[in-house]
Amino acid sequence: MKHSNWLILFTLAACSAPKSQESVEQEVMTIGSVERLDSAINALISADAKIEVLASGFEWAEGPLWLEDQQALIFTDVPTNKIWKWTEDDSLSLFLSPSGYLGDRTDKREPGANGLALDVEGNLILCQHGERQVGRMLSTLDAPKAEFEALATGYQSKRFNSPNDLVFNSKGQLFFTDPPYGMDPWDEKELDFQGVYRLDSDDKVNLLVDTLSRPNGIGLSPDERILYIAQSDPEKARYYAFDLDEQGNVISGKVLFDATVFQSEIRKGLPDGLKVHSSGVLFATGPGGVLVISPEGKQLGTILTENGTANCGFDSDEKYLYMTADGFLMRIALR
């Protein structure tokens, strides 16, 4: 996906684009607003909170992940096959290239990594569109190199579509989604469904859900007994909640919130990435920006970013919510 609001990009020229692949000083600008539909949102986002633009100029920013040891945020730019790093002190720098496709083709649409996570040992785990796999970066976070080990490449001897987003539970089980967004027209689709999977410590890939048309963002409730899935289908733009047993198997599911009717020219975007706050509240990207949804499925409000918003993530203390929205990296302070 490309930029849809070049006027904003022009007015935010002080937020330097990353094309030079160099660290740059960036002036913080603000954008958008917070829509408050229920007073419960005030316990999460203060009345004077502003949406800060930290960096701009990306093709389609995704996968924000906080690195506590470095006090840094890394995030992917899927079409350009790169991962960027942002810190409060040093601003923006290139973290890893390539990130999701290691071949020679230059005409792939979305070759890069998408969702990112850290395993229990602190290794970077990536959903790699171009390689159609879930991979592990072999180098350390302090000295990243584009060297990867495949953790999961397919199901029942058939290649994945393009793994998109992922989340670990405390047992080390990895849950991930596999829509076809990273596939190119010449790629062979080997699976006839878009799955949600669990990768166990014995390297076994378990299919959990095969009935969703476009599973995308994924998250777990604080007690790890509910698996949340965002579906990026314009006809069924929904967030689902699946109950899990103690082994991490799905035992039931329901629509938590249906955002289909909220799509408009003003409220751009579909359900995409999501994160679950320690309170159990969902911060789920969708029409307009980031929807704030209670565990019971009530919309408390929306962080209106004025852009199609791909994903979001917290720092370790949940002091900020970082958001990747089209060509921008943004954040908003939380209470």
Give the C-alpha distances (Å, rounded to integers) separating 145 from 21, 105, 140. Answer: 16, 20, 8
Q: Is 169 marked as a binding-site residue? A: no
Separation CA 42–CA 7 (nearest Å): 31
For the record, the structure tokens of 115 come out as 């969702």
Strand pairing class (72-77; 250-258): unpaired
Separation CA 179–CA 232 (nearest Å): 9
> Which residue among the candidates 77, 272, 315, 326 is catalytic per the annotation?
272
Give the C-alpha distances (Å, rounded to integers) separating 29 from 50, 53, 198, 325. Answer: 10, 5, 40, 15
Q: Is 272 a catalytic residue?
A: yes
Q: Which residues neighbour 67 within 8 Å (Cβ) at sequence distance 6 or greater? A: 73, 74, 118, 141
Q: Is 62 marked as a binding-site residue? A: yes
Separation CA 150–CA 3 (nearest Å): 32
Output the CA torsion sign for 304, 306, 309, 315: negative
Phi/psi for 129 (5° steps) reads: -55, -55
Q: Is 311 marked as a binding-site residue? A: no
19 C-beta neighbours (distance < 10 Å), count: 9
Q: Is 224 marked as a binding-site residue? A: no
Q: Which residues neighbour 13 within 8 Å (Cβ) at sequence distance 6 or greater? A: none
Q: Which are the catalytic amino acids?
A: 272
Binding residues are 62, 164, 216, 272
